[in-house]
Structure formats: structure tokens, C-alpha cells
Chains A and B, each alone.
Chain A
């Protein structure tokens, strides 16, 4: 029952917004439903640890530790993003850059997006998971193209074409898994449920499962943004409005990875851990190398953040490759930390773009001097993302490296660390350019080349605490979790054992 309510909350938000035609009150109700989803998710997680997995909706939904954890992540990021989304929509409506119809579409689609992500992680059935993830692609395409510029149109076209191809391949992988389970004696009624798959996995034909897992990594990996299927990611995440980028980068990528984790658990029983390990290591190292090389020459800070997401997805894949419970727990912690920090950063960069008028790195100087609150949040967020203590990404990366050495993937961890150092240098260099320096205005020539709507006069004022407060809360949460993982240790341990029993 609780699970059905959990799914209905974002839906309720969508209905309220659709009826209320993007009036601020309706929008805040939607934010409230997302926060409610976070709260309910926490309750479900606690109950799951105490009682065990819960099911709902006649077995279509199932929440074990892993699902509950992902619900918490989704809830947290969705609350942050929709909070700032309200403000963005209000600003657009005030300046006439948007109509109530488009604002309503935006808000409804965001709720549909959040609802589908929740459905994906709560699905008991692999087919429902697929349908939900495909639905998120459809919901986000218009969100990416929200600003109706040529760049965003191109980005949304690339996004939906590449991700649809990937999702189609993931469906083929799912069909092959279904074939394997039917031949191993599963009954067609519940054959695609996770529990049934795990139970019969030892009888699956290894050759079929190998092909299936490769297709699933290729397919869902497209949505995760792993190289070489990543080409949609920088465009989509940089052209989308900031709250949407936060949601996509913070949590959609990891929901797609959640699917890969689940299938990895099944494949490891059927084929042995070596195959998935090799595949995931290859993909992760490729992503890390690509992110490192392309981050050095970035000129746009939103694209920089997008490539940084590719790096983190590579790290997560590397952690998952190790496969032992310690590694999976580290991966999940990383998912949470990355979700919080990346969404805070994207939301901050959205604010920066709104007040500065440019998304180019060389168009922004002395942010700390001119707008200390925004600059401070941005700087601290970057510190968090680069893996510095006390933030949780430091902890999770350390645990991952330890786990890699434990299973003999030390060489891969070393290569990853080299890439991380390069990325650190690149991002720190870009950040230094943006944050430090005197508080003078950027040269006109730089601003002239940007592709933006006109900077609204009202945005030159100081950012309101209503904006910076949730961002600071997000960063603080990230830091707290890094130091004391205690609210989550039990949950992480249980979730890790779902994937690596």
C-alpha cells in the first residue's frame, strides 16, 4: 500500500499543476509531493530494514533494500530540483520568456519524470522497469528542449534518437533474459520478476546470458552515459534548464545504472563474476579516459559538469565491476553523494547563468567577490564533487579503491586515479577562473558570442536566500553523510547484499 501511495504522490503533483495552470501555489504543492515522496521513501527504507522487502499493487511493485535506497536518492534530488524549478518558472513567466501553457507542461512533465523514475526502481518486473525507463526518456525530451533555442532543439533530437536506440537494445537484452529463464523452467506468469530471475539464474544458459548482459550494458549504458554511447549527454545536460539537468544528471543516470546492477546480480549467478567484471571495467575506463581528455578544454561550465557526470558514472561502473559487498555499498554511497552534489551544482550553475547571462567559463570572473553566496555554494559543491573530505564522495571513492585492490583490480583503480587527478586539475583550473579574481564585469566580446535570451534586469539583484538555502542544505547533507554514514549503514549493507549476496 505504501508503495502505491509513493508512486501516486508525484502523480498527484502533476494533476494539481495541470489543474492549477502553473500558479505558484500549485507549483509549491508539486514540490511538497516530492518532499513527501522523500519522507515516505525514508519510512519504507526503515521498514524494509526491520521487516524485509515489501510488495504492493498485486506484486507489480516491490521494495527491497536497494529499491528503498534508490527511492531515498530520487526523493532527495527531486525535492531540491523541483524547489528551484518553481523559482525558475516564476522568473520565466515574469519576464515573458515563457507562457503559462509551457510552464504547465514543464511542471507536469517533471512530475511524470519523477514518477517514472520511482516506478523504475520499485518495479518487481524487468518489463515494467523497461517501460518506466523508456517513459522517462519520452518525458525528458520536451524538458530538454524547454528553452526552444536551436541548441536545445538539436540536443533534444540527439537525446531521444540515441537513447531510443539504446533502450531498444536493452529490450532485446531483456527478451534474451526472458528466453533464458523460460528455458530454465520459469513459468511465464512471473518469469520476469527479479525474485524469479534470481532463483532460476543458476540454470540459465551462459552463452545466452552473456549476449543478453552485453546488450543490457550497451542499452542501459546509453542512458547512463557510459562511453562510447555518451554523445547525447553533454548536449542534453547543458541545454536543458538547470533543474532538469540536476534531475537528469543527479538521478536519472543512476536509475539506469540501478537496472544494470540488478542484471549484473543475475548474470553473475548464471555466468560467474568475471564476465560482467571485464565488461564493466572496460566501459568504465573508457568513460574515465574520455571525460579526462575532454574536460581539459571545456569552455562551457554546464558542459563541464556534464562531462564530470560521465566521469562519475565511469567510477560507479568501476566500483560495480568489483562486485563484492564493500564495493557495491561504496557504489550506492557514491550514487547518493553524486546525486546531491551534482544536482546542487547544476542548480547553482542555473542561478549563475540567470544572473550572469552567460554559460561560458571565460565569461565569468570573481564570482566569490561579486556574489559570495552563489560563488561559495558553487565552490564548495565542486570541492564535494572532486572527492575532497569531508564530503561523502571522498569516503565512497576511498572504499571503492580499497575494494578494487581486494579483488585484484588494482591496476584499474590506479588508472582511474590517474584520470581523477587529471580531472581534478582541469576542473580546479576552470573553477579558479570563475571564482577568483576581482569583481569586474566580463569583456563584451565574450558575451556577444553566447546563445541566450536577453538577461532579465531583475536578475542582477542578489540571489535570495530562498534559493541558496536548499542548496546549502544539500551540501551539508552530503558532508554529514560523508562523516557519519550511520543513518545509512544498515540500508547500504542490506542493499549491497541484494546485488552481491
Chain B
């Protein structure tokens, strides 16, 4: 299959997935038995008239078909409705919270992949060495710890007991220039550490097992047989091939890291999308929950598309499949 057709097919698939998410999002909040407005009415003690007004405002009194058409049109033009709590537009609310999450997830992904892959390469190459055994169990333990709790533990010890770091938030306020940057980094440190530790284990494990897989391939044996020095075998022959499955995982995992960030942000009051979601859950602010669901799904779909296309170039074999 030609490269162009491969890309084209992947783009179509991504668009189909997005359409599915859009439809799913629509039905989730209208057809499921929960009835968001009813829940809200009970928790808020709204009167019948308020409920009717709310339903009209959300367009829930229209027939389902026309609701769907309106919904798709509005969503595609960037209108995600109005928050039930703050009466602000969901779109602008979300945009105002994107940056801290991008910072946290971006740096977290970068650090956990780089460190995890380094550990995986080193451990997989010398399988059974002290380094390998220690890091393997360490990685498994890190994988088994719930990120949210890890964050709480770090807060309890490093912030609560030792007072080394602030207890949460994005900045102390009132700082400018370099002092502000230092202040933000100081606030960023613990959430970033939590996210990095929480995901590094998986990358280390997958890279390690992929290294072990590749070391047993015939081409590695022939490289050794023709006298390629060991460090060259590792760098030129094993690592590039072992990296491919890890590469896919990094992108596939993006959704999980985003999820982890939601919890970590809630724990550290880091004012990104995660904290926004956490607040929206507690206040039953459905338009905001829907908006975040839509945006995070779209982000993950975009990332997967990017991964598929890059992978197609890195490994031409997959284009045939």
C-alpha cells in the first residue's frame, strides 16, 4: 500500500472515531437512565418551573433528532454550552485551564519516557544483572501504586511534615519575572514527580521486554558473528528495533497519562483540566464534564493519528497490514 493511501486511511479512521465520540457524548447525557437534570434538581432542590426552564435552556424539551442536529452543529462550531454553575461558556472555561495541564502532561510524558526507556535499555541488555532486577521490581511497584495516593504520600511527607514544598496550587501570587518562574516550578515539582514516577515503570517494563525479544533475533546473532562490537550491536541493531513497540505504547498511553493528570491535579489543586473536572464532578456540572470528555478524547485521537502516521514511516512493514 502506498504511503499516501495509508495516511488517508488513518485520517478517515480518526474522523470516524471522532464522530463516534461525538454521538456517544450526545446519547450519554440524554438517553442513559441517570437523567442529569433530575439529579441536579434533587441535589439543588429546584422547583418544577426551574427544571422546565433548565430543560429548555439545555434544549432537552426538543425531539431527540433535532437535538442531535443542533448538538453536532454547535459542537463543531466550538460551542460546548454554558456551565451550570458559573454561567460561563464551557469553551472559554476549558481554554483558560488548558495550559497548566499541557505543561504537566507534556513534561511528565517526556521525563517518564526518557527515564523509563533508559532503564529498559540498560536492564534488558544485561538481563538478570543487579541493575535489571532492582529496576524491574521498582518498575512493577511503581506500576502498582495508585498515582493519586502516591501524590498524597509525597504531599504528606515532603510538604506536610518537612515543609519543603507548597501544599498545592500553581503559584503563590504576587511574584513577577524570574521569581515567578521559580515559584511556579516549585509548585510544579511534586505533581510532576508523581506523574513521572507513576508512568515511568510501564515504559521501563515494555522497553526491557522488547529489548530481550530483539536480542534473540537472528540478525543480532549475525551482527555479532561478523564482529560488530557489542556497544554497536546494542546501539545500531537492538535499540532501534526494540524501540518500535515502545513508541506505539507511548502514544497509546497518552490517554492514560491524561487520566493520571486528572487525579494528580485534583490532589495538588493544580489548576488545569483535571482540577476543573474534579470540581465539575462534585458540582454535577454536566456541560463541563461533557466538554472535558470531548476535548480529551479529541486530543487522544489526534495523538494516535500522529503515532500511526509516524509509525508508518518508521516501520514500512505496517503499511502493508
Bind each other: no
Residues of B at the A interface (CB closer than 8 Å) are: none
Residues of A at the B interface (CB closer than 8 Å) are: none
